[in-house]
Structure 1
């Protein structure tokens, strides 16, 4: 029986993610685990994450998850990063006065800012946007990727975040969202796919994405 390992380093939305994966993959074993041996034996791996990137990266490094993730990616194992798990895969975040990430992607993670706004309907009108970006937003696909199979371009996914990976000049961007600025809703490179949104909280489209991931070969 094939298996999916959800890495438990103490900073993830583990229950929701595991239940969603179990729902879309009833014939696979789903392990929520910090056991390196179990993770290395899994056919597919998910790196979740919630909270401050400083705390996440501190635990990732303390537990050797950064090295483990690099090894799995080098071996060609399909890897899915979710929310702060995606941000942890970047080179650096400006949160907490600057935190170095795992570095699988070269992008930097930026703060939305305290004066985020968008154009209103009237000429010159600016509408203040709340930070964090919380709720449903459309995702526009920028790569023809197997993970998007059965998901409409412009489908809505659920976001909760105050920091984002930039869309502009991002060679790895797989999905784009607009919230005051253009941001990378998803990135992809080789056997790695990562989302800023929470697929496990995104109803039909999110479950389809997770189903696609557990069926994805990494190519």
Structure 2
């Protein structure tokens, strides 16, 4: 049974990758198709498949959908108002180009304290894209560093809402969780952020998306 579930998960992942990379289907539709393939491969019947899908999507949208939409609005306002420009100018004025990934990891770490991961991502996207464009660096060099800061904070360090929910559910000690979380978080951000971003930027040397940046990206 366990082997079948593992194979089902692999089949679902392979379906998603093929649909996005080669067939060029929208990621949301690819995720839907991949989840269907995984469920069928795991032996779920069609009635349970659709019931599980609608229940899961409904729970996700009710839990984080509004946050993502509001975060997207804030990100759009940052681009349109020039706020992202101002943030990037400040970062580049204070940070040498070679230290930019480290600065973005720290900024994401700090910005992400009061925000859920999804909201932090959509707010930081314009900052990452503008910073990569202005510094003439691959987008992944800056983006991976920012994602590392957000991800580690989201998973390990209170007072982020995610760890606080886990602490409340498990009855854990807040101070101990914060202390051990920081001990694990700092080297994790360094390894999975700026250090990992360097070889990844060589593998995927893609510049910032000019369609996203528009006239402000020049």
Could you state the TM-score of these two structures normalised by the residue count of structure 1? 0.24
More strand by share: 1
Greater Rg by CA: 2
More helix by share: 2
Could you state the TM-score of these two structures normalised by the residue count of structure 2? 0.24
